[in-house]
Amino acid sequence: MKNKKAFSLNLEQRVLWVRADGIWNARTAKDYVQEFRQLVQPIMARPWAVVLDIRNWQLSPADVFSLLKDNTYWCFQHNLSHVQTIYADNAVVMWQFVKATEVSNRPVNLISQTADSEDTARSVAQAAGFLDN
Give the residue extent of every domain in the chain.
Answer: 8-100
Q: 8-100 has which CATH code?
A: 3.30.750.24
Range 28-35 average pLDDT: 96
pTM over 0.75: yes
**pLDDT digits 0-9 by tens, 37-75:** 999 999 999 999 999 999 999 888 888 999 999 999 999
* CB atoms inside a 10 Å sphere around CB 130: 24
Q: Which among 44, 50, 56 is positioned nearest to 6, based on CA atoms?
A: 56
Residue 91: per-residue pLDDT? 86
The proportion of the chain whose per-residue pLDDT surpasses 90, expressed as a percent, equals 74
Instruction: Express the helix, strand and coil content of the chain in percent, nearest 5 each.
Output: 40, 25, 35
**pLDDT digits 0-9 by tens, 95-105:** 888 888 888 88
Range 83-108 average pLDDT: 87
Between CA 103 and CA 31 the distance in angstroms is 21
